[in-house]
Amino acid sequence: MASTVLVLTALEDVTADWVIAALNEREVPVVRADPADIGLGLSFGARIGAGASAWAGHLVTGSREVELGEVAAVYYRRPTPYAARFDHLPAQQRDFAATEARHGLGGVLSHLHGAYYVNHPGAVTAADFKPAQLQLAVRLGLTVPPTLITNDAEQAADFAAVHGPVIYKTFRGLPRDEDGHTGAIWAQRVDAGTFDDSLAVTAHLFQAEIPKTADVRVTVVGKNVSAQQIAAPDGALDWRRGDWDQLLHAPVAVPSGIEAALHSYLAAFGLVFGCFDFALTGDGDAAEDWVFIECNPNGQWGWLPDADDITTAFADILSRATEGDGAR
């Protein structure tokens, strides 16, 4: 019976470290690998054909080796993008090598027969689109802010006239610059008077500002639900923009109707885990006080006060997969 948990993530990942440590304490076999190490740091061979209906072979890292058929669960955390492995190559060669690695090695690792994925990379990709998130949330009965996605200045101005004040958000954030540095564009209020034809260049996400009393992060791992009310000391519109160590947290109860909708949401996308963000418009006791903002299908949670409980939830669900528990 398959018994190994394969953790796919970058070298520096404290969140994955915690889950791996919890699995080690339970004596669950774990192999950690970053697919972008393909080369001398990671080799593999996968075979399929007559008499073999699933990929078989070995994945070998600098310190570990695992037979593909022994992988019972895959914790797909945050592996390094394949392109980073080939940065030293000319653009055409880099793109070719990265694409071949993603479709070859990545294709095998995404289709290990019988393995339980937390989460499957294909499901993460599908669930990463905010238009899909908002549409599903509405269909599940969750309240969402009035939203417009457009590249048309006139439509944006009309929306702001009806729903102002208006918030602008990015869909994916800033990519790395030429020096490899990352940045961020936080959710921010925008002045409709500044809208002009420059909006035509790309897509923009505008939402009505919610008169919120608090923000809430809900982390769902399988059947486990953890929720924390979050406040920035300076009352920032977007609590993510400041020092996370200075954030104020308090546990909050999730109404049963909201909790049921979150489980349905994950099931609809084929996810096991998700980090949900809500804005509260009241004291949070009633479902109508909860306004869905977004769900990160591969979100961060290690900074939360209930990180230990979330770690245990991950270890529980991955351990059960190695024991052949189909219900998990």
pLDDT value of position 253: 94
Flag whether pLDDT at 165 surpasses 60: yes
Domain identity same for 224 and 288: yes
Domain identity same for 219 and 261: yes
In angstroms, the CA 326 to CA 114 distance is: 10
Establish if 310 belongs to a structural domain. Answer: no
pLDDT value of position 177: 67
Say what angle helices 130-139 and 256-269 make with each other, to 10 degrees: 130
pLDDT value of position 180: 61
Domain identity same for 173 and 52: no
Domain identity same for 203 and 282: no
Domain identity same for 96 and 10: yes
pLDDT value of position 179: 65
Domain identity same for 20 and 54: yes
Q: Which domain holds residue 78?
A: 4-118
Establish if 326 belongs to a structural domain. Answer: no
Q: How many domains does the chain have?
A: 3
* pLDDT above 90 coverage of the chain, percent: 78
Task: Give 181 or 290, the one with higher predicted confidence.
Answer: 290
Establish if 314 belongs to a structural domain. Answer: no
Establish if 139 belongs to a structural domain. Answer: yes
Flag whether pLDDT at 170 surpasses 60: yes
Mean pLDDT of 215-230: 96
Mean pLDDT of 39-68: 92
pLDDT value of position 294: 96
**Range with the poorest average pLDDT among 25-34, 48-57, 303-312:** 48-57
Domain identity same for 154 and 280: no
In angstroms, the CA 261 to CA 27 distance is: 35
- Is the previous residue joined to 296 through a cis bond, with omega within 30 degrees of 0? no
Write out pLDDT tens, residues 110-163: 999 999 999 999 999 999 999 999 999 999 999 999 999 999 999 999 999 999
CA atoms lying within 13 Å on the CB side of residue 47:
7
pLDDT value of position 1: 63
Query: 7 pairs with which residues across the strands?
Result: 32, 75
Establish if 319 belongs to a structural domain. Answer: no
Establish if 318 belongs to a structural domain. Answer: no
Domain identity same for 173 and 107: no
Write out pLDDT tens, residues 89-112: 999 999 999 999 999 999 999 999
Flag whether pLDDT at 17 surpasses 70: yes
pLDDT value of position 327: 47
Mean pLDDT of 273-277: 97
Which CATH number goes with the domain that contains 90? 3.40.50
Q: Which amino acid is at 124?
A: V
Domain identity same for 108 and 154: no
What is the torsional sign of CA 252, 258, 263, 268? negative
Mean pLDDT of 308-314: 97
Flag whether pLDDT at 272 surpasses 70: yes
Domain identity same for 97 and 153: no
Establish if 322 belongs to a structural domain. Answer: no
Domain identity same for 244 and 178: no
Establish if 197 belongs to a structural domain. Answer: yes
Please provide residue 221's backbone torsions phi and psi, each rounded to the nearest 5 degrees. -125, 105
* Locus of tokens 């994916």: 172
Domain identity same for 161 and 197: yes
Flag whether pLDDT at 232 surpasses 90: no
Mean pLDDT of 185-192: 87
Flag whether pLDDT at 282 surpasses 80: yes
Flag whether pLDDT at 319 surpasses 60: yes
Which CATH number goes with the domain that contains 135? 3.30.470.20
Over the chain, what is the mean pLDDT? 92
Helices (H), 237-306: 256-269
| Beta strands in the chain, from DSSP E residues, in sequence order | 4-8, 30-33, 42-49, 52-61, 65-67, 71-76, 116-118, 147-150, 166-169, 188-190, 204-208, 214-221, 224-231, 248-251, 273-280, 290-296
